[in-house]
Amino acid sequence: MLATSVEGARPVLLAGLRRRGAFRGGGYRNVAVGRVGDVPAFLAALRDDVARDPVLAAALGRVLPIAHTFRLDTGDPLASLETAVAALAPEVAGQSFFVRLERRGLHGALHSSEVERALGTLLWQKLEAAGQVPRVTFADPDVVIAVETLGDRAGIGLIGRALRQAYPFVRIR
């Protein structure tokens, strides 16, 4: 899981998250990362915690379930991202999508909008090659491919519409 706090509220966020999983600072201001045993149970419990605890609610920025984490090749970080996103084609098939990158670190090595476009194009081509009809939409897609980088580490989550609707703190920037 990757969670962000509002400015300066990471200690409050970490205290709230640690009740539900093994969380720590993510190496960047206002970022926490952690592992949970059961993602749906964690999200439901966090929704309840936020409803009961106005301090936690005020501290919480957003939460993203991350399905796959990996190290980026610092010489060619885009290649690492392309490999990971290409593997998602079967899961994205038949759904509308877009790719969003939240980059922390790697200044000058990755440019978010260029990487989003390159990864989206790659996924489009993979889907076409598999006989699918790709559909990109930025207005309420079936799934968002959320790519998060923390320096030379990256994580990818497939954030579906149902998840975004059920948990208001599961948001894409």
pLDDT, tens only, 49-91: 999 999 999 999 999 999 999 999 888 899 999 999 999 999 9
- What does the pLDDT read at residue 161? 97
Indicate if the alpha-carbon torsion angle 24, 165, 133, 116 is positive or negative. negative
In order of their start, the domains of the chain are: 2-64 (no CATH), 68-160 (3.30.2130.30)
Nearest residue to 58 (alpha-carbon basis) of 2, 13, 22:
13
Residue 111, pLDDT score:
83
Q: What is the pLDDT of residue 107?
A: 75
- Residue 74 is predicted with a pLDDT of 81
Spans of the chain below 70 pLDDT? none
Q: So what's the pLDDT on residue 3?
A: 97
Question: What is the CA 55 to chain-centroid distance, rounded?
Answer: 24
Count of C-beta atoms within a 10 Å radius of residue 127: 20
CA 109 to chain centroid: 20
The predicted structure's pLDDT at residue 106? 76
**Global pTM value:** 0.92
Task: State the DSSP code for 37.
Answer: S
Residue 109 has a pLDDT of 74
Q: In the prediction, which pLDDT does 128 show?
A: 97
> Distance (Å, rounded) from C-alpha 148 to C-alpha 112?
10
